Amino acid sequence: MAETNRMSQAEKATISLRGLIMSGEYPAGSRLPEVALSERIGISRTPLRQAMDRLVTEGLLVRAASSGCRVARFDLDDINDAIELRGVIEGMAARLAAERGAEETLMAKAEAVLDAIDVALEPVSALDFTAYVRLNAEFHEMLGQLAGSPVIRREVDRITQLPLASPSSFLSDQLMGPEFAASLIRAQDHHRGILAAIAAREGSRAEALAREHARLAREKFDYLQHADPKLTRRVPGLALVTAE
């Protein structure tokens, strides 16, 4: 959490509140009383309300008519649709990058990120998980830039940061198992394929690969569903997903 000094109260409130909700502190559907919250996180109501507005646009909260906010409720379909949506957006970014041609320096940087991921995955038995999460997020961010369009980039960033659609969602070293490690390697294969398709100006292939890549998140999520229910409390956001 870099430099909480230079952050505005509203930003701090956003992060605190998002964390509180993702951790399941406030169960899905529960109301969020403003005064109590502002006392709890030590920030006055004005920036807190800004934060709540922000989380409403993120979809984490819903604003009931003139009666404050409630924590949103998600079911399995919502998660899958959010993942599908991310795949479509990232697919568009990859396609446009291929069709229009991506800047060489950006491509080189993206390749470097992938090389670093290879390193992080190197000792399959004891891979560097936190490094992977960081680098993976970085690659997906690069994907938004490769098309060279501020509009596209902005949209990819937005989708990518949505709590339940993010490429980092439901990633947790809690579920480190052999099959999980294997899925990380498959993901890296996808990464390479997407970049290769962009370099070869194969727009359709780049788009299809990016969509397929997003679907890996589904597998991870399905795995979570059937794994130890105790994980619900340790994997951020999982507490908001109702069994349907």
Partner DNA sequence: GGCCTTTAACTTGTATACAATCACCCGTCA
Partner DNA sequence: TGACGGGTGATTGTATACAAGTTAAAGGCC
Q: Which residues bind a second copy (CB under 8 A)?
A: 46, 49-50, 53-54, 57, 59, 77-78, 81-82, 84-85, 88-89, 92, 96, 149-152, 154-155
Q: Which does 92 bind (CB under 5 to 8 A by kind): a second copy, DNA, none?
A: a second copy
Q: Do the Cβ atoms of 25 and 18 come closer than 8 Å?
A: no
Residue type (1 letter), 234? R
We find the least distance from the C-beta atom of residue 120 to a second copy, in angstroms, to be: 31
Q: How far apart are CA 214 and CA 160, in angstroms?
A: 11
Q: Which does 96 bind (CB under 5 to 8 A by kind): DNA, a second copy, none?
A: a second copy
Q: How far apart are CA 82 and CA 145, in angstroms?
A: 21
Nearer to DNA, 46 or 204 (CB): 46
Cβ atoms within 10 Å of 130's Cβ, excluding its own: 9
Nearer to DNA, 47 or 203 (CB): 47
Nearer to DNA, 43 or 102 (CB): 43
State phi, psi for 227 to the nearest 5 degrees.
Answer: -85, -170
We find the least distance from the C-beta atom of residue 33 to DNA, in angstroms, to be: 4
We find the least distance from the C-beta atom of residue 176 to a second copy, in angstroms, to be: 29
Nearer to DNA, 63 or 154 (CB): 63
Q: Do the Cβ atoms of 146 and 102 come closer than 8 Å?
A: yes
Site residues for DNA per CB under 7 A: 8-10, 31-35, 43-47, 49-50, 63, 66-69
Nearest alpha carbon to residue 51 among 64, 38, 65, 67? 38
**Helix extents (H) in 101-230:** 104-120, 129-146, 150-161, 178-199, 203-226
Q: Which does 34 bind (CB under 5 to 8 A by kind): DNA, a second copy, none?
A: DNA
We find the least distance from the C-beta atom of residue 59 to DNA, in angstroms, to be: 18
- Largest distance between two CA atoms of the chain: 56
We find the least distance from the C-beta atom of residue 157 to DNA, in angstroms, to be: 20
The label of the residue with tokens 């709590």 reads 163
Nearer to a second copy, 27 or 150 (CB): 150
Total residues found in the chain within this entry: 244
Nearer to a second copy, 3 or 179 (CB): 3
Q: Which residues partner with 62 through β-bridges?
A: 70
We find the least distance from the C-beta atom of residue 192 to a second copy, in angstroms, to be: 24
The label of the residue with tokens 């008519």 reads 65
